[in-house]
Amino acid sequence: MSATLVAEAPDQTQTGTLADVLPGVLGTTSDDTDKAYLVAADKILDALAYLRDKEGYDFLSSVTCVDYQGYNGKQRKGISERFDVVYHLYSTKKGGGHVVLHAPIPSNDTIASATSLFPGANLQEREVYDLYGIKFEGHPNLRRILLWDGFNGHPMRKDWKEAYFDEDSKPFRSRHPKGSYEFHEDKLPWGKNATYPAGWDPDTWQAPVAYVPVSQAPKHLGEAHLDTESIVVNLGPHHPSTHGVFRMLTRIEGETILALEPEMGYLHRNHEKIGERNTYLMNMPFTDRLDYLNSMSNNWGYALAVEKLTGIEVPERAEYIRVIMAEFTRFVNHTWSIGFILNDLGALQTPALYAIEEREMILDLFEEVSGARLMCNYLRFGGVVRDLTAGWLTKARYLANDRLPRALDELDRMLTDNEILMARGRGVGYLPAEDLISLSVSGPMIRAAGVAYDIRKAEPYGVYDRFDFEIPTLPHSDIYDRYYIRLLEARQSVRILQQALADIPGGETVGFGDYASATLSQGFGSIMGGKGGYNLRPPEGEAYARVESPKGELGFYIASDGKPNPWRYHVRSPCYINLNALGPMSVGYKLADAVVILGAIDIVLGEVDR
């Protein structure tokens, strides 16, 4: 069964030595597609420090947790405890693959916090605490993040059942009992999606004290600074500047920000809990709704992870189609983001209207092949769901060769030398590159700080190694550079598009060249050794795959127990983790700048909260 596994594991020489020298190592997980080191929970900081200082793994990409209770009726090989915190580390200097650490959590659900080594673990550890109840010792601010204080239980635990609970895995047998249908609302006395613990009395219940950020006086305000009273100002969750439902708690003195805390979860749609109930294929349309501006990139990240887990091959034409779709998406995202940075600067609507003009044409192309403008749901494991339509390439070439470069030129002409953009953007929101990397920030944010780190070059996926393109970098790490880097990246996207549209195998001919692998067209059963079937059953193991989404590193972590539903399905969301930098970047600047600093991070709340 596991002969089909294709491991894209770190190279063997390195791992061979690592297992010997890594502090606290208990062993490796041998049955996995992604090779992982088991590390004792009390030695985890030593292991992380070793990897960071000695091996150059300076980027803590993902921290998550897996609950192994009831796993396949038995324990997973090598893992003895119920909870298992998983760390994925990369190197921004060397590029290449990852190192995975598994830390089995002892029965008191406590592990040391990695925030002292990698401040970027901050939000992710809070998420793990919120959803799994793992306590991170030494974390500066361990509160619930996606749910609210006082919520009953930790919902991602396997024994926690939601109010509308049907069964553990789809497809549900109980959907149409006796030929009729029942609404979940009707089964609960209060007719709403809510569940209360026994003995909970809403009359005597007291709301927890609301959190207010404490003052963290910035360095440039010295002792001699006039001591005035600071106040707490709340922005959001309904605020036009927050790009959705996001909340910023700020402590300001005059107009200067002393502390800023992001508050999120207002769009927490339980993506991961639903994802564990879904079958593998069912999750594909849900990934569309993560970062809803870039459904194609999200599809690709998820498809890559499952393909890595199962070893499905992707035909050449499909790889080119994926590149084309992803680069169109990047163009859409970057122009959108440029338009809305200007919106946040007070140039209400006009630049945005110019910036998103071409977007409609690209959406028309997406609609033509996938049937939907936004939620394309176009990629599949082993290809794409259907071939390009007749004449599609002609239209796409017109856009890539003619229309899109002109649109970028226009934006460049209008905005790049704009006095207001310079005055508001230059030097605002500065954070040095090493701070950004330690905060796990990825994507255009670090490239605007001079770090030429792009997954398309550092660890090429798909057919990106065939194209001639550059990674633009800018040195200043301020709002202006974060605007301009998006323009430069959109130009590189156009460049990749022109090459991909010229070289695509099969060309205009519809039906010539495979757009999907044989396994996809025959049903997934064929790769599992059985008969053809609709449901994919990857072999037992785990995989983490990442793509360079327009926002940064989008990763999918999937652990499979060999059944049609993923045991663990985790999204490493670039928007969410980039928000680590929001507080440090905003402190010391004016409140009005915080709005633009947030805008220049370019978040989408669907991906932040998932």
Stretch 318-357 residues interacting with other proteins (CB under 8 A): 352-353, 356-357
**Please, which residue, 211 or 512, has the CB nearer to other proteins?**
211
Which residues, numbered 378-417, are part of the site for other proteins (CB under 8 A)?
A: none
**Please, which residue, 287 or 440, has the CB nearer to other proteins?**
287
Could you tell me how many residues of this chain bind other proteins (CB under 8 A)? 79
Contact flag: residue 16 with other proteins (CB under 8 A):
no
Where are the strands (E) in 522-567, listed by range? 541-549, 552-560
Q: Please state the closest distance from residue 202 (CB atom) to other proteins, in A.
A: 5
- Of 374, 296, 339, which is closest to residue 550 (Cα–Cα)? 296
Return the axis-axis angle of helices 295-310 and 316-344, rounded to nearest 10°: 140
Which residues, numbered 234-273, are part of the site for other proteins (CB under 8 A)?
A: 237-240, 244-245, 265-270, 273
Which residues, numbered 126-165, are part of the site for other proteins (CB under 8 A)?
A: 133, 146-148, 150-155, 157, 159-165
| Site stretch for other proteins (CB under 8 A), options 184-192, 300-308, 379-387, 439-447 | 184-192
- Of 211, 213, 225, which is closest to residue 251 (Cα–Cα)? 213
Q: Please state the closest distance from residue 230 (CB atom) to other proteins, in A.
A: 25
**Please, which residue, 190 or 534, has the CB nearer to other proteins?**
190
Cβ neighbour number for residue 107 with a 10 Å cutoff: 8
Contact flag: residue 19 with other proteins (CB under 8 A):
no
Tell me the chain's radius of gyration from C-alpha atoms. Answer: 24
231 has which bridge partners? 252
| Site stretch for other proteins (CB under 8 A), options 90-98, 174-182, 439-447, 463-471 | 174-182
Which residues 6+ apart lie within 8 Å of 161 measured at CB? 195
d(CA 128, CA 263): 16
| Site stretch for other proteins (CB under 8 A), options 41-49, 190-198, 443-451, 474-482 | 190-198
d(CA 495, CA 408): 12
Which residues, numbered 513-532, are part of the site for other proteins (CB under 8 A)?
A: none
Q: Please state the closest distance from residue 286 (CB atom) to other proteins, in A.
A: 7
Place of tokens 């009953």: 152
CA distances from 30 to 35, 304, 580, 588 (A): 7, 21, 34, 49
Look at strands 25-29 and 36-39 and give their pairing.
antiparallel
Contact flag: residue 592 with other proteins (CB under 8 A):
no
Contact flag: residue 109 with other proteins (CB under 8 A):
no
553 has which bridge partners? 548
Which residues 6+ apart lie within 8 Å of 223 measured at CB? none
Q: Please state the closest distance from residue 271 (CB atom) to other proteins, in A.
A: 8
* Residue 543 near residue 434 (C-beta atoms within 8 A): no
| Site stretch for other proteins (CB under 8 A), options 176-184, 253-261, 395-403, 520-528 | 176-184
Contact flag: residue 183 with other proteins (CB under 8 A):
yes
Q: Please state the closest distance from residue 418 (CB atom) to other proteins, in A.
A: 21
Q: Which of 15, 28, 110, 195 binds other proteins (CB under 8 A)?
A: 195
Contact flag: residue 179 with other proteins (CB under 8 A):
yes
Contact flag: residue 108 with other proteins (CB under 8 A):
no
Which residues 6+ apart lie within 8 Å of 370 measured at CB? 376, 377, 378, 385
Which 8-state DSSP code applies to residue 106? P
* Residue 369 near residue 490 (C-beta atoms within 8 A): no
**Please, which residue, 70 or 138, has the CB nearer to other proteins?**
70
Contact flag: residue 304 with other proteins (CB under 8 A):
no
**Please, which residue, 96 or 153, has the CB nearer to other proteins?**
153
